Amino acid sequence: MNMKHYIWNYPLSLLTVIIICYLSFFTPPKTDMEELPYIDKIVHICMYGGLSTLLWVEYLFRHRSINWKHLGTGAIICPALMSGCIEILQANCTETRSGDWMDFAANCTGVLLATLLAYYVWRPLIWKHLHR
């Protein structure tokens, strides 16, 4: 498949990847939110859970069955690998950010939660109403 296919069929997911990459490398301003316990991990879960959810939803709208090779790679493995690469780059290529294994774990938790939600909630709803 060519790049046009992915841009046309997964526009929100690609936009989310760009936003996550930007947020992962800019220096965030100091806020009172930092004082909330585990807020950073919650943000990581939401970012990667949101990305994986969008990938699932955009896939489910276009397919009547699940090709686990494609969907597993695109909506589960790729977001997890992307998060690991970003953590490594933050640790080795920036002075204002640091790589963190717990961030990576939070990212993977977001992907896992999104996958469970998408398979057991979004998939039946989308297919029931869209693929009648």
pLDDT digits over 13-65, tens only?
999 999 999 999 988 778 777 788 888 999 999 999 999 999 999 999 988 89
Which residues are CB-contacts of 79 (< 8 A; sequence separation ≥ 6)? 48, 51, 52, 55, 107, 111
Q: Which of 1-10, 44-53, 70-79 has the lowest mean pLDDT?
A: 1-10
Concatenate the DSSP letters of all residues of 75-121 into one string: IIIHHHHHHHHHHHHHHHH-SS----HHHHHHHHHHHHHHHHHIIII
Residue 98: the pLDDT is 85
* Contact between 108 and 51 (Cβ < 8 Å): no
Residue 3: the pLDDT is 63
The average pLDDT across 80-92 equals 95
Provide, rounded to the nearest whole percent, the portion of the chain with pLDDT above 70.
95
